[in-house]
């Protein structure tokens, strides 16, 4: 059994990393430098948390931050001691996401959604839509423009969705959809949004700053 406290019916999991220069957003270092890449990651994570707090005003959810790098104290110093933090620990991205969903459903969540923090257009409205769609289907995916996905939501754990995926490539979304079809899962796709992973993606963050 999980040692996590009971969560709400709708539970949100945020994957992020402690913004240590040189170990954060490394593909952006050629354009921004190690300090700049870490600073951007910090800003994007904080922006994501603002959207989550806006979501809380609309629907009742519980949420927690699953982090890589750093430690509990550094995360609390950065984002506040009032949040729930869990270390991602070892394994590839699929194994870590599967583990977080296992904990969520063990803790009595009925709908669980995982997001990252590098998609500035992901807002409270899209998050609310993801939970709304989960009431009518088994899987919700938010496709990213680069071929990955920025959000995955489930009503129960299907480990098959997180195995044999070429993480970090432009095949992640299509491979996940293919597995979902083989499992006969009912699925809904959200709007396509842009992640910020490479120097050519930085214009998306700049456009977001202009809009804000």
Domain ranges of the chain: 10-211
**Cα 100 → chain centroid:** 11
Q: What CATH code is assigned to 10-211? A: 3.90.550.10
Compute the distance between CA of residue 194 and CA of residue 119 in angstroms, rounded to an integer.
Answer: 6
The predicted pLDDT at position 5 comes to: 62
| Pairing of the two strands 149-154 and 111-115 | antiparallel
Residue 196: C-alpha distances to residues 1, 52, 125 (Å): 36, 19, 20
Q: Is this model's pTM higher than 0.95 or not?
A: no
The predicted pLDDT at position 210 comes to: 45
Compute the distance between CA of residue 120 and CA of residue 208 in angstroms, rounded to an integer.
Answer: 7
Q: Which residues of the chain have pLDDT under 50?
A: 1-2, 210-212
Do the beta carbons of residue 33 and residue 40 sit within 8 Å? Answer: no
| Helices first, then strands: H and E counts in the chain | 6, 7
Do the beta carbons of residue 17 and residue 26 sit within 8 Å? Answer: no
**Cα 35 → chain centroid:** 23
Residue 34, both tokens: 């190690």
The predicted pLDDT at position 209 comes to: 58
């Amino acid at each position: 059994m999980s040692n996590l406290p009971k969560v709400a019916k709708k539970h949100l999991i945020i994957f992020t990393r402690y913004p240590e220069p040189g170990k954060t957003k490394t593909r952006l270092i050629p354009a921004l430098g190690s300090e700049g890449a870490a600073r951007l990651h910090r800003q994007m994570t904080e922006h994501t948390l603002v959207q989550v707090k806006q979501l809380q005003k609309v629907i009742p959810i519980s949420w927690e931050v699953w982090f890589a790098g750093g430690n509990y104290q550094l995360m609390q110093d950065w984002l506040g001691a009032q949040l729930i933090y869990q270390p991602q620990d070892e394994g590839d991205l699929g194994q870590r996401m599967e583990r977080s969903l296992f904990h969520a459903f063990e803790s009595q969540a009925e709908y669980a959604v995982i997001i990252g923090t590098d998609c500035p257009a992901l807002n409270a409205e899209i998050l609310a839509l993801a939970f709304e769609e989960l009431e009518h289907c088994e899987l919700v995916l938010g496709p990213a423009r680069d071929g990955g996905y920025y959000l995955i939501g489930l009503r129960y754990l299907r480990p098959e969705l997180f195995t044999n995926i070429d993480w970090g490539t432009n095949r992640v979304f299509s491979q996940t959809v293919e597995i979902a079809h083989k499992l006969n899962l009912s699925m809904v796709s959200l709007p396509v949004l842009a992640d910020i992973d490479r120097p050519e993606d930085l214009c998306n963050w700049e456009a977001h700053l202009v809009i804000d």
